[in-house]
Chain A
């Protein structure tokens, strides 16, 4: 398996809902990332996990809560989101963190907050 997979592909949620995004890779990568991409904008880094520990948090609001339960899985828990949080959420992984390894991206989850 040489891909990063993300589920669901699309998600519509209300501002009071709690939902989770899931990202999985089975390439043995030990670094995983969450990015947010608004329409017609570049991806912006949100979080980096290195060896299942949070290593970078780019001052993301607490309504986004990442979790890395094991080396293959990365979740993003969503709670009390705002309409402006509607975006494409991309997951990526790389072999190791803190070095010069290429990041491989998933297809993204398109989130709409009503």
Chain B
């Protein structure tokens, strides 16, 4: 069965500190991994997907198939990064069925 694990419910850092939100997955096939973000009072939106290999708002994530991880990183956190972050997985060829992790709330203090 497919599963996404985000071990931290809450991550608190100070502005300018590095951030790493952890995501591990279990899936027997080739997965496609995503990070979705939900800012306060806003809708859930895609932050990035591993296949794009791009940096969005200074965030990057690398798929490590050996460790089955897709951790989200940012070298210098900003207050506006405070939000709920969800890691999600789908089958590589079909993204209809997204399976979300339980989410990590990131708080960035001034």
Task: Give which listed residue, A4, A43, A101, contacts B95 with CB less than 8 A.
Answer: A101
A56 to B95, CA, bound (A): 12
> Using Cβ atoms and an 8 Å threshold, which residues of chain B touch A104?
45-46
Closest A residue to B41 using CB positions: A107
The answer to whether A97 and B100 touch (CB under 8 A), given A90-B44, A105-B43, A105-B45, is no
A106 to B44, CA, bound (A): 8
In the complex the two chains form, is B95's CB within 8 Å of A42's CB? no
The answer to whether A48 and B101 touch (CB under 8 A), given A102-B46, A108-B43, is no
Q: How many residues of A contact B (CB 8 A)?
A: 26
Interface assignment of B67: CB less than 8 Å from any CB of chain A: no
> Using Cβ atoms and an 8 Å threshold, which residues of chain A touch B99?
45
In the complex the two chains form, is B95's CB within 8 Å of A41's CB? no
In the complex the two chains form, is A99's CB within 8 Å of B98's CB? no
> Using Cβ atoms and an 8 Å threshold, which residues of chain B touch A98?
94, 96
In the complex the two chains form, is B49's CB within 8 Å of A102's CB? yes
